[in-house]
Structure 1
Amino acid sequence: MKNCIYLFLLSSLFMVTSCDTKGEDIYSGYISFSTSFIYPTDAHDNYEVLFNGNVISKSGNALVARDNPEGTLEVYKKGSDTPEFSKKITITSGEVVRLIKLDGRSIDIYDENSYDSFSLNVIYQAGKESEYKASFNENQISNGINYLKKEDEHAGILKIYKEGEEVAVFSQDVAIAANGIVNIMQLSESEFLLVPEDNEPIPDSERYTKLRFFYTSDALPGVERIKIIIYEWTNFAELGSVEIKVGQLSPYQTIDWDVVGSGGGLCQDIIDLTDGEPGVKILDSAINMDAFININRGEFKFATTRLGAGGIFIKSIPALSTPW
């Protein structure tokens, strides 16, 4: 009986020693690495990545012999026998090989020295996100972080399409800065507004509001460019003016509420500049007593406003305005 116990303990010790040695061999003989798509982040759902013919799982690490870390990295579209990417690389321990697939370009290994990133932020109406797609210079982009090759054109046309339609509902020239943000707000089923990055200084106090305007073609049909003259409505003292193109934001105009005075408010004239200066007055607040800019003292630091039909009534857009 004692001999049996002795043999059992000896066998157990041998097994533990063998396991430990085997583990050390694996650790010393191999290095691990992984792959991921930096863009688009869901590309692993559509592609398989192989190293030296072995499939690398979506979330797991792969092993390669420490004394032979060189091999061929291949990327296949699922269901295809032909690789879309194939390159010999040398693996370092713990490396994450980041892949990138831009619309209109082949799959590549991401190198931050070769790419610029930018963020697209389209503020869709509730529940509408899945109904639209965006493109820049005819290459599809998405909400969130996007990438451009440094040598590619960074100025071009940004478009938004409704799914299933070929004509863009929004199209505008933009210049994309490295690490920049492109902000666009949906106004209706077919209207979008480009909102540039705002570096405007904050007003000194609630005595002031920085006010800007925009309008769409349905508000002023056939009018491509206008001048808005802002008045204090009790005595028609002129407070400033801005010029604006259809579908674009005007510059800011600072309103001094001490000039407006207690009980006063804002109204406007609108001049059509489509055919150039001096233009034709299409709204005269001295005649049309309904002309009104619905902004009050102490309400906003920055107010972005939209012209209603005929430019008669102008009201703020809270999502693009900053309250005091």
Structure 2
Amino acid sequence: MILTVVPNPALDKTVVLPGFTPGKIHRPREIMTLAGGKGFNFARALRTLGGQPTVVGPIGGHAGKLLLDLAVQEGLCVSAQAVDAELRTCLTIVDPAAYNALTEIYESGAAITLDEWIGLVQHVDQLLAQARMLTINGSFPPGTPADGLSTLIQRARSHNVPVFLDTHGAQLPAALTLEPDLLKINQFEAAQATGMHIDTPADALQAAAVLQRRGAQEVIITLGKAGVVGRSRAHHTFGWSCPSVPAICSTGSGDSLLAGIVAALIRGQDLEEASRLGVASGAANTLQLGAGRFTHQQVVDILPDVHRLAL
């Protein structure tokens, strides 16, 4: 079982609004509502790629009930930690008349209480006994203890379960000292974490080296259309290009990329080759609405167009 913690889940709504203009009344051409938050996007993508993730997160309110219903309809396995607060809602507006420009409105989410956080950690601890890997995906809600991320990593370590991180922010520096097995972040998050200016793959590789020195055993940094770079446990560097595809919506591409990496690692590939599948999965995610939604065949079709970057 791949155990996926999504500390700040959301009900994700995507609307298609040709000619979107602030200050006007709009009637969407298309609406899609999904169980969301980075962990759900990751789990949706990983399931398509043959993995069996179990998602854990604090879920409450009427929106939380709808999220669970939607997850069941998709065949996602969810082990929810009940909380009192209403689940947050996040909105993405896609404007096809402006080259599919995205406007994203993300609620911060209601605060989690200390008792609710302790309950979530205990819940994760119980499930770790059956897990082969722990992924921690996304932001943390207000009220999370300052050592919340570190606590989850420590619990995984006590079960000898590898830890993959797809998160950033104030809790990351302390978490890195616990030597997570993989850190996947984008170039802007890496710049924030290191204080470096990242424009090129070479810049990103320098940042990856810094993050390794701070504790991450392996690092993947995504660069949007410029591709992805990484450093392995043995400090081997690599990079892959991002193929040109008729993209509609890029939301969830980073989550899909991580799903591709995890799916390939499970099958025994090394990080470099796994990242190639990750790039194809991230590109496939852009071909339709909905984060983490693509077909296995789309990934197969895109994979030959993912080439090594000259580093």
Q: Normalising to structure 1: TM-score of the pair?
A: 0.25
Larger proportion of strand: 1
**Higher relative contact order (CA closer than 8 Å, sequence separation 6+):** 2
Larger proportion of helix: 2
